[in-house]
Structure 1
Amino acid sequence: MPITAFYASLLTPLFLVLAVRVVAVRKSARVALGDGGDRALLRRIRAHANFAEYVPLALVLMGLAESLSASAWLLHGTGVALLAGRALHAFSVSRQREDIRHRVAAMLTTFAVLAILAATCFVLSARRAFMG
């Protein structure tokens, strides 16, 4: 699954940056658990957590689609969209003065990626399972 591995390797640094940003604010705010009422910490926690909530499923679906011989252009298209959507979401949620339009665009992009990959897996697996 080289295409999935490629996008996983591009998404991992973003995940690590988001994690380090949480740790940095936790340290400066002296908050070990939760957000301690610190709005900046809450935003960073949510940016990191949201990434952790959506990216693993997207990568699993991408890997399954790739294993079912989905087209490379579809895999690259969804990979680029996932990367862009997650980066935009992290940027948007992390800002104190959030532009909700960026967040909405990022989430719609992520939802579209999940829907496209799930539909691809459904169609390709159904073909193999029921049509030989």
Structure 2
Amino acid sequence: MAILPITSILAAAFAVALVALSFPISLRRLKVGDMVGGSADEVLHRRIRAQGNFIEYVPLGLVSLGLVEAHAAPIWIILAIGTMLVLGRALHAFGMLADSGPVRGFGMIFTYLALLGAAGRLIVDVVI
């Protein structure tokens, strides 16, 4: 059985981060009285999209990172991909919640780099 310590730690951290992104949505829904779906409330909308974008990118990022780690890539590669993924998701969420396009943009760039780095490493390991 493969033990993936870096991916495991990041999965735990991302689970906590998801709760941290989700709880304010529940509170805002109670405040504005809009319990299902989207909302005309701009704050609620930003919170929903920050959480949604997190959910859209983190699972594939973790799976890719776990595969890179399982392929016994050098530790610096695993840490670089993991760091880019964490930084990307943190910046994006902060940018969404603070309504800062540039911060969101940098968050997406780091997320893309993490995914592309993992994909590139997996292609090298499997194909070459």
TM interval, short-chain normalised: over 0.9
TM-score (norm: length of structure 2): 0.93
Listed as ranges, the matches of 1:1-132 within 5 Å are 1-95=4-98, 98-127=99-128
What's the CA shift string for 1:13-51, capped at 9, x where partnerless? Answer: 111100101111111111111223111000000000000
Structure 2 regions of 5+ residues with no counterpart? none
Please give the alpha-carbon distance, in whole angstroms, between the structure 1 residues aligned to 2:38 and 2:32: 9
Aligned residues: 125
Farther off after superposition, 38-47 or 24-33: 24-33
* C-alpha deviation, 1:108, in angstroms: 0.5
- Contact 1:47 1:90 (C-alpha < 8 Å) held by counterparts: yes
Structure 1 counterpart of 2:108, one-letter code: M
- Aligned residue for 1:33, secondary structure, equals coil
Q: RMSD in angstroms over aligned alpha carbons?
A: 1.0
What's the CA shift string for 1:95-127, capped at 9, x where partnerless? Answer: 2xx221111100000000000001111110124
Query: Which structure would you say has the larger RCO, counting Cα contacts within 8 Å and 6 or more residues apart?
Result: 1
- Aligned residue for 1:101, secondary structure, equals helix
Could you list the runs of 4 or more consecutive aligned residues of structure 1 that deviate by over 3 angstroms after TM superposition? none
Identical-pair percentage: 34
- Aligned residue for 2:72, secondary structure, equals coil
Structure 2 counterpart of 1:123, one-letter code: V
TM-score (norm: length of structure 1): 0.90
